Structure 1
Amino acid sequence: MAKNRFNEHAGPSQRQLRVGELIRRTLSEVLMRGDIHDPDLNRMSITVSEARITSDMRIATIYVLPLGGKNTDEAIQLLARNAYELRRILGKVAKLKHTPELRFMPDETFDRMDETSRLLGQDAVQRDLARGDEED
């Protein structure tokens, strides 16, 4: 087997990014239209924020967040319970050679942004930032 001539820690390939975006968009549309035969899942409004796919295109990690950010664990459980049906629909719509296994994770981006904003708003940080501006 040929060695990968690129750095192993480089970012995802263009193909991974394209397939990930295709998966994200397709799952968003499926969940929005309510094409799943699970009434509990159809009742929830779920945002699919990102889909990361492994380099061998076998596993896709889907980052989701329910509307309002509440009941995240329930949403993940419902999606995992319906992963087979979502994968089947994805295979039909996306027409991929191999439809990846779907794994669902909560999207914590907004929580991290809120925490960063809170930290930057602290008096000690503002004082240090003001001191840094005076030195320039």
Structure 2
Amino acid sequence: MSRSHHSAGSVPSQRMLRVAELVRHAVAQLLSRGDISDPVLEKHVVTVSRVKMSPDLKLATIYVVPLGGKDEPEVIAALDRHKKFMRGEIAHDVNLKFAPEVRFRIDDSFDNVSRIDAILNSERVKRDLETPSGDAQDAAEDGAQDDARDNA
């Protein structure tokens, strides 16, 4: 199998990562400069959080987050309406043999981080992580005694 073929769970190549970052930067510039004339996009600040490229670099999945997480379906629909224009601008900004097809998705990784943070800060987890000071002291002393016996 050649290096350019990847299975679904494989690690992206350096080229895939580099092109993804170039595409992310190009799309972020388009949105921040206001090059896209759309009433929905004009009233939202949209963050381009990450881009995943297919192994053949012909498909770019662009993950976005509207500020405040409001009107996500409307923002995705607005971005989808301007796919053709954005693809042309990406092709102009990123020097590739083929301009990648683009698809937009809401990035829910921030929600996952918040959920994990809430779990880690819950009372149950805090209680499970706490060790009484006496038990910790006993464990340290036992470890020191074991080390002394091993060295003797």
TM-score, normalised by the number of residues in structure 2: 0.80
1:60-91 C-alpha deviation (Å, 9 max, x unpaired): 10000011111111111111111111101111
Q: CA deviation at 1:125?
A: 1.1
RMSD, aligned α-carbons = 2.1
Aligned partner of 1:83: which letter?
K
Q: Output the CA distance in 1 between the equivalents of 2:90 and 2:81.
A: 16
2:48 maps to what in 1? 48
Give unmatched runs, 5+ long, in structure 2.
140-152
Q: Output the CA distance in 1 between the equivalents of 2:39 and 2:71.
A: 16
2:143 maps to what in 1? none
Matches within 5 A, 1:92-111: 92-111=92-111
2:142 maps to what in 1? none
Q: Output the CA distance in 2 between the equivalents of 1:92 and 1:117.
A: 41
Q: Output the CA distance in 1 between the equivalents of 2:127 and 2:15.
A: 45
Q: Output the CA distance in 2 between the equivalents of 1:125 and 1:118.
A: 10
Q: Output the CA distance in 2 between the equivalents of 1:11 and 1:53.
A: 12
1:4 maps to what in 2? 2
2:73 maps to what in 1? 73
Q: Output the CA distance in 2 between the equivalents of 1:42 and 1:123.
A: 43
Q: Output the CA distance in 2 between the equivalents of 1:57 and 1:19.
A: 8
Q: Output the CA distance in 1 between the equivalents of 2:132 and 2:103.
A: 44
Q: Size of the alignment, in residue pairs?
A: 134
2:35 maps to what in 1? 35
1:85 maps to what in 2? 85
Give unmatched runs, 5+ long, in structure 1.
none
Cα 1:108/1:131, change in 2 over 3 Å:
same
For the pair 1:19 / 2:25, whether they are aligned, the reply is no
Q: Output the CA distance in 1 between the equivalents of 2:16 and 2:73.
A: 27
2:129 maps to what in 1? 129
1:29-87 C-alpha deviation (Å, 9 max, x unpaired): 11000111323323321000000000011111000001111111111111111111110
Cα 1:130/1:94, change in 2 over 3 Å:
same
SS class of match (1:77): helix
Aligned partner of 1:67: which letter?
L
Q: Output the CA distance in 1 between the equivalents of 2:104 and 2:44.
A: 15
Q: Which structure has the larger Rg?
A: 2
SS class of match (2:130): helix
